[in-house]
Structure 1
Amino acid sequence: MNLALKDAIHSPTRFALTAFGVAFLMTAMIGMTGLYRGVVEDALLIIERIDADLWVVQGERAGPFAEGSAVAPDMDRRVEGVPGVADVRRFTQFTQQFAFDGATRRATLTGVDVPRDDGHWLPLTAGRWLHAGRYEAIADASTGLHVGDRVRLGLDDYDIVGLTRHMVDSAGDGLMFVSINDATAIAQRRTSEEVHLARATHGELAASPDGSSVAQESKIAAVLVRLDPAADPAQVIAAMERWGDVRVLTTAQQRDLMLNARLWKLRLQILAFTGLILIITAIVVSLIIYTMTIEKLHEIALLKLMGARESVVAGMIGQQAGMIGLAGFALSLLIARLVFPLFPRRVVMDPPDLAALGLALALICAVAAWVGIARASKVSAREVLS
Structure 2
Amino acid sequence: MNLALADIRHGIGRFLITCVGIGLLLGVALSMVGIYQGVVREALALTRSLGAELWVVEQGTRGPFAEASRVPGDVREMVARIPGVAAAGGLTLRTAEAEGPQGRIRLQVVGYEPGRPGGPGSLVEGRALGGARFELVADARSGLPLGATLHLGADRYRVVGITRGLVASGGDPLVFATLRDSQEMQFRQAPPAARRALAAGALPAVTDTVNAVVAVLHPGADPSAVAETVRRWKHLSALTAAEQEDLLTRSVVQRARMQLGIFTVVLLFVSGVIIALIIYTMTMDKRREIATLKLIGAPDRTIAGLVLQQAMLIGAFGFVAGLVLLLSVRDHFPRAVELGVFEVAVMAGVTATICLLASVLSIRAALRIDPQQALGG
CA RMSD of aligned residues (A): 2.1
Look up the match of 2:309: 319
Looking at structure 1, the residues matched to 296 and 364 of structure 2 have their Cα atoms a distance apart, in angstroms, of 20
Deviation at 1:319, TM superposition (A): 0.8
Look up the match of 2:123: 124
Does the CA-based 8 Å contact 2:89-2:118 persist in structure 1?
A: no
Q: Residues 118 and 90 of structure 1: is their aligned pair in 2 closer, same or farther, counting only changes over 3 Å?
A: closer
Deviation at 1:365, TM superposition (A): 0.6
Normalising to structure 2: TM-score of the pair? 0.93
Does the CA-based 8 Å contact 1:59-1:247 persist in structure 2?
A: yes
Looking at structure 2, the residues matched to 190 and 102 of structure 1 have their Cα atoms a distance apart, in angstroms, of 29
Looking at structure 1, the residues matched to 102 and 312 of structure 2 have their Cα atoms a distance apart, in angstroms, of 55
Opposite residue 63 of structure 1, the aligned amino acid is G
Looking at structure 1, the residues matched to 336 and 362 of structure 2 have their Cα atoms a distance apart, in angstroms, of 40
**Matched position secondary structure for 2:273:** helix
**Is residue 379 of structure 1 aligned with residue 369 of structure 2?**
yes
Stretch deviating more after TM superposition (92-101 or 347-356): 92-101
Opposite residue 87 of structure 1, the aligned amino acid is A
Does the CA-based 8 Å contact 1:90-1:220 persist in structure 2?
A: yes
Deviations 1:272-315 (CA, angstroms, capped at 9, x unpaired): 11111111111111111111111212221221222211111111
Q: Residues 231 and 125 of structure 1: is their aligned pair in 2 closer, same or farther, counting only changes over 3 Å?
A: closer
**Is residue 258 of structure 1 aligned with residue 258 of structure 2?**
no
Look up the match of 1:137: 136
Looking at structure 1, the residues matched to 105 and 209 of structure 2 have their Cα atoms a distance apart, in angstroms, of 22
Look up the match of 1:169: 168
Deviations 1:338-361 (CA, angstroms, capped at 9, x unpaired): 222222222121221111111111
Candidates 185, 202, 220, aligned match of 1:205: 202
Opposite residue 306 of structure 1, the aligned amino acid is I
Look up the match of 1:226: 216
Look up the match of 2:69: 69
Normalising to structure 1: TM-score of the pair? 0.91
Q: Residues 98 and 194 of structure 1: is their aligned pair in 2 closer, same or farther, counting only changes over 3 Å?
A: farther
Q: How many residue pairs end up in the alignment?
A: 376
Does the CA-based 8 Å contact 2:98-2:151 persist in structure 1?
A: yes
Opposite residue 293 of structure 1, the aligned amino acid is T
Look up the match of 1:338: 328
Look up the match of 2:107: 107
Looking at structure 2, the residues matched to 2 and 196 of structure 1 have their Cα atoms a distance apart, in angstroms, of 87
Q: Residues 337 and 176 of structure 1: is their aligned pair in 2 closer, same or farther, counting only changes over 3 Å?
A: same
Q: Which runs of 5+ in 2 are unaligned?
A: none
Look up the match of 1:31: 31
Deviation at 1:109, TM superposition (A): 0.8
Does the CA-based 8 Å contact 1:293-1:376 persist in structure 2?
A: yes
Opposite residue 201 of structure 2, the aligned amino acid is E
Look up the match of 1:44: 44
Looking at structure 1, the residues matched to 219 and 102 of structure 2 have their Cα atoms a distance apart, in angstroms, of 51
Opposite residue 125 of structure 1, the aligned amino acid is V
**Matched position secondary structure for 1:76:** helix
Look up the match of 1:212: none
Opposite residue 319 of structure 1, the aligned amino acid is Q
Look up the match of 2:84: 84
Q: Which runs of 5+ in 1 are unaligned?
A: 209-214
Alignment of 1:289-368 (within 5 A): 289-368=279-358
Deviations 1:30-61 (CA, angstroms, capped at 9, x unpaired): 11111122222222111111111111111111
